[in-house]
Amino acid sequence: MNDHAGDPVRLWHRRADGCVLLDGFHALKHAVRFGAEVPVAVTADRRAALALADELAPDVRATLDALLTEVPEAVYGALVARPHPTAVAALAVRPAREANLRALASAPRRAPVVVLDNPRNLGNAGAVIRLAAGFGATGVVTTGTLDPWHPTVVRGGAGLHFATAVERLAVDELPPGPVFALDPEGEDIRGVKLPDDAVLAFGSERSGLSAELRARTDHLLALPMRPQVSSYNLATSVAMTLYHWSADGGAPGAR
């Protein structure tokens, strides 16, 4: 009898430490697509989950079929803080830090690394990881105290932590490459070509870029913004900057 054919609840409790929660069908689908190791996956409605796979994820349908164990709704509800509309939940093994550090340091780099300098908002961090995955960024590094693998960040990232390298580092440990830091006081980004090995740094929602990060900065860039508007939201700033990089030829799918 393999792991998945055993008691999924016992397996869940045995593997919960060292794993992250994949909350809902879409998070599981993304994690599986990007090679996550999933020791246990449950659903309160296997038929509905596989119908979603037929419709939205035929590429991983067979894997999901093999992974998903149906459990009573009350059992599913007891495993998650808040039931997801798709009634799917799974655990995925968090990638080794060493592997992520290798990916972040690899050269030559074909896509930027995004740095969030002391971010405060877990939802923003999740949204940025989703963006980085979509644009094929090399990784997302956070500085400061926020854990980029916090369950709320993983939920916001829709399972896409597995599509890019996500780690927390100190400013003096940032990957190599020219640092382009975003700040409303910088030079207009529209006149600047962002190289593929750029380190794109964004400040905290509360206080912007730290003095330490500014000291590491090679270029300070501003996103176009009408006078009297103070700043954009952190995640939308990352979106505009990654789009600007990609519009110059950086191609999603090129990693």
Residue 23 β-bridge partners: 89
Concatenating the DSSP letter of every residue in 23-56 gives ESHHHHHHHHHTT---SEEEES-HHHHHHHHHHH
Q: How far is the CB of 211 from ligand SAM (least distance, A)?
A: 13
Q: How many CB atoms lie within 10 A of CB 246?
A: 19
Give the angle 142-160-171 at the CA atoms, nearest 5°: 10
Most distant CA pair in the chain, distance: 65
Q: Which amino acid is at 65?
A: D
Cross-strand partners of 200: 114, 180
For position 144 contacting ligand SAM by CB under 6 A, the verdict is no
Q: Which range, of 23-31, 140-148, 151-159, 225-233, touches ligand SAM by CB under 6 A?
A: 225-233
C-beta of 219: minimal distance to ligand SAM in Å? 12
Residue 209 sits in the site that holds ligand SAM (CB under 6 A): yes
Give whichever of 144 and 184 is closer to ligand SAM, judged by the CB atom.
184
* Cis bond before residue 195 (omega within 30° of 0): no
Q: What are phi and psi of 13, to 5 degrees?
A: -70, -30
Between 167 and 183, name the residue whose CB sits nearer to ligand SAM: 183
Residues 168-187 that bind ligand SAM (CB under 6 A): 182-184
Among 80, 150, 205, 216, binds ligand SAM (CB under 6 A): 205
Give the C-alpha separation, 207 to 187, whole Å: 19
123 near ligand SAM, rule: CB under 6 A: no
User: Does 212 help bind ligand SAM (rule: CB under 6 A)?
Assistant: no
Question: Nearest-CB residue to ligand SAM?
Answer: 203
Q: Which of 63, 152, 210, 231 is the binder for ligand SAM (CB under 6 A)?
A: 231
**Could you count the other beta carbons within 10 Å of the beta carbon of residue 125?**
27
Q: Are strands 88-93 and 40-43 parallel, antiparallel or unpaired?
A: antiparallel
C-beta of 75 vs 192, nearer to ligand SAM: 192
Count the residues of the shown chain that bind ligand SAM, applying the rule CB under 6 A.
Answer: 17
- Say whether residue 223 binds ligand SAM (CB under 6 A): yes
Question: Should residue 207 be labelled a site residue for ligand SAM when binding is judged by CB under 6 A?
Answer: yes
Which residues lie near ligand SAM (CB under 6 A)? 182-184, 202-203, 205, 207-209, 222-223, 225, 231-234, 237
